[in-house]
Amino acid sequence: MNHAGEVLGSFAVYHHTVSRPNDEEIALIEDCAQLATLAIEHERAEEELRIAATAFELQEGLMITDAKRVILRVNAAFVEMIGYSSQELVGNTAALFDSGRHDEKFFQKMREALKTHKYWRGEIWNKHKNGVIFPCWMTISVVPGRKGKAASYVASVVNISKDKETEAEIYQLAFYDVLTGLPNRRILHDRLQQAMATSTRYKNHGAVLFVDLDNFKTLNDTHGHDIGDLMLIEVARRLQACVREGDTVVRLGGDEFVVMLDGLSEQASQAATQVDLVAEKMLQAVSRPYFLREQGHHITPSIGITLFQGREQSVDELLKRADTAMYQAKASGRNSLRFFDPAMQKALEERILLESELRMTLQKNTFVLHYQVQVDEHLKIIGAEALLRWQHPRRGLLEPSHFIALLEETGLIVPIGHWVLESACKQLKAWEKNPASCDLQLAVNVSVRQFRIKNFVNEVHKVLNDTGANPARLKFELTESLVIDDVVDTVGKMQALKKLGISFTIDDFGTGYSSLAYLKRLPLDQLKIDKSFVRDIIVNKNDAVIVQTIIGMAISLGMDTLAEGVETVEQQNFLSLAGCRAYQGYLYGYPVPLADFEQQISRQVISVSS
């Protein structure tokens, strides 16, 4: 029996031996009872302190701060978790282990919750003394002081790194292929739904490509599943290298992969061309030799393609269509691609044939140049624009609109652009012998890809030296998109070419990024007013104002103007009154072969009828 019990026991004995206590005895009994009660309360307080001390040193990290968030006390679990000793922590604030991952808005919400609800609970990232950042689950409670204001804060902190790692592992297993690390069918469905929604909003196309490896089972059976696995890992890597960062490559299982492309053109034919280029890259990439376990191996893919726009088909229907097209590719001899849409497949085959014919034409040098005359305000011939034509073996004479996009996509525009430049310079040299043509200037269109090659200036210099052409008679026509794409590179090359004597015109001015900011930086000689403005200057006040503004701006900047697409005398008169001094269009002559153009220049002056 403890001390308090003994006292109470003596009270009981005394009560039984004395029948009627006097006042002094009663007072003594009351004092003893009060002492016993205080002793019991003291023991209970000591027990509560022992419980609190034990709780404070449990595995959960605890931190106590004052009202100004200065750390007053931490337990051993918190010290172990954060890496700092209690001496380093006490007197500091939580800024000591701030991870830097949370912005002011995060902490503002925390302060508001503590003020309003007297507690905050959530995930927070802290920084260990060794610099490692780790996630924690923290609960902060307010200890109220006088008038309800916070006297101190108690924070319990749990390191949830292992929980995060487990969560990530579960997610990885649920949504990603274990072997290749690619997303699986579940993610594909989700991303396809998102892509279809985006396509609905922006009216553009997306595509699903079903990729199956030809004769993969034979490889597995012959060389073992370990080689087959290494092959699949390498195929996955190669497929990813063929697409943009935002596109999706998925392994469905076995040797089946699906690639999803989005953000393609609004026009189905252009979207099909974009997909075809990616699919061709995949065919080439997957077909390259493999070196696995120091042995060479080879495999080819069959690819089925279907386009989508909006939500016209379900996800399952899209996959079924791509799968069907893939089997058509296998039936055609494997190592090929097929579109689900027969019309698109036909267009693709026509494009492939066209590309092949273009390459043959370049090798045989069967492109031709036509020349469209340019005149001054007195209708005197001052030069011409050299225009590329293709004498197609089946379709006759083709203008650039039929093949220029394909030249750009395939990169053939660079060698063909070189041929045009070389041919134009040879012609300028030949014209020097004729008094009627020796002063003519010849304009040549330069593509973006051609202008951007690193040694373009050296290439031009070499052509001029080889042909002996006078650079003062050569004029390069550049598009606005070319000059605005990389102004620094553009200015540098233009200045170098200007030193050779070449002049520059901005083609189709007014249809692109027309801006004084780049006009005043570029060493331009002429602005070419686009025919879309010239066509309606007599009947459309807006076009008339635009043309007058362009001419006035050019004059202010010390440049000439040339209007293209002039077809009537009325248009010419308007342009002349506005200050334009050079013209090009059907009023003066169509693009014609060299012999016909040389007949025109023999007359020196063009006659027009109203």
Which position has the higher pLDDT, 15 or 311? 311
In tens, the pLDDT along 521-546 reads: 889 999 999 999 999 999 999 999 99
Where b means 16+ CB within 10 Å and e means fewer, 364-402 reads eeebebbbbbbbeeebebbbbbbbbebebeeeeeeeeee
Mean residue pLDDT across the chain: 85
Residues 414 and 563 in one domain: yes
Residues 236 and 275 in one domain: yes
Say if 351 falls within a structural domain.
no
CATH number for the domain harbouring residue 490: 3.20.20.450
> Which is nearest to 286 in space by CA: 368, 216, 362, 343?
216
Say if 350 falls within a structural domain.
no
Q: How confident is the model at residue 174 (pLDDT cuts 50, 70, 90)?
A: low
CATH number for the domain harbouring residue 95: 3.30.450.20
Say if 282 falls within a structural domain.
yes
Distance CA 481, CA 408 (A): 14
| 3-state SS class at 580 | coil
Residues 412 and 381 in one domain: yes
> Which is nearest to 242 in space by CA: 271, 268, 280?
280
- By mean pLDDT, which of 17-31, 61-75, 355-369 is the weakest? 17-31
Give residue 274's pLDDT: 92
Give residue 370's pLDDT: 97
Distance CA 176, CA 185 (A): 9
Q: Which of 310, 340, 370 is the last residue of a domain?
A: 340
State both tokens at 504.
């520059």
Say if 353 falls within a structural domain.
no
Give residue 349's pLDDT: 73
Alpha-carbon distances, residue 192 vs 175, 229, 248, 459 (angstroms): 15, 27, 9, 47
Residues 65 and 50 in one domain: no
Say if 435 falls within a structural domain.
yes
> Which is nearest to 307 in space by CA: 328, 333, 325?
325
Give residue 425's pLDDT: 97
Residues 186 and 308 in one domain: yes
In tens, the pLDDT along 197-244 reads: 989 888 899 999 999 999 898 888 888 889 999 999 999 999 999 999
Residues 396 and 535 in one domain: yes
What percent of the chain lies above the pLDDT cut of 70?
86
| pLDDT of 21 over the 80 cut | no
Distance CA 50, CA 46 (A): 6
Range of the domain at 291: 176-340
How many CB atoms sit inside 10 A of residue 271's CB? 22
Give residue 250's pLDDT: 94
Give residue 344's pLDDT: 64
| pLDDT of 3 over the 60 cut | no
Q: How confident is the model at residue 18 (pLDDT cuts 50, 70, 90)?
A: very low
Residues 48 and 123 in one domain: no
What total of structural domains would you count in the chain?
4
- Amino acid at site 452: R
Give residue 44's pLDDT: 57
Give residue 351's pLDDT: 75
In tens, the pLDDT along 466-498 reads: 999 999 999 999 987 777 767 888 899 999 999
Residues 189 and 333 in one domain: yes
In tens, the pLDDT along 78-98 reads: 998 899 998 999 999 989 999
Helix-then-strand count for the chain, H and E: 23, 21
In tens, the pLDDT along 549-582 reads: 999 999 988 999 999 999 999 999 999 999 999 9
Say if 607 falls within a structural domain.
no
End-to-end alpha-carbon separation of the chain, Å? 132
pTM, entire model: 0.53
Give residue 402's pLDDT: 83
What percent of the chain lies above the pLDDT cut of 90?
49
Say if 132 falls within a structural domain.
yes
Residues 196 and 336 in one domain: yes
Residues 317 and 452 in one domain: no
Q: How confident is the model at residue 160 (pLDDT cuts 50, 70, 90)?
A: confident
Say if 213 falls within a structural domain.
yes
Residues 239 and 294 in one domain: yes
Give residue 281's pLDDT: 94
CATH number for the domain harbouring residue 326: 3.30.70.270
| pLDDT of 7 over the 50 cut | no
Residues 240 and 381 in one domain: no
In tens, the pLDDT along 384-440 reads: 999 999 988 888 898 988 888 788 877 889 999 999 999 999 999 999 999 999 999
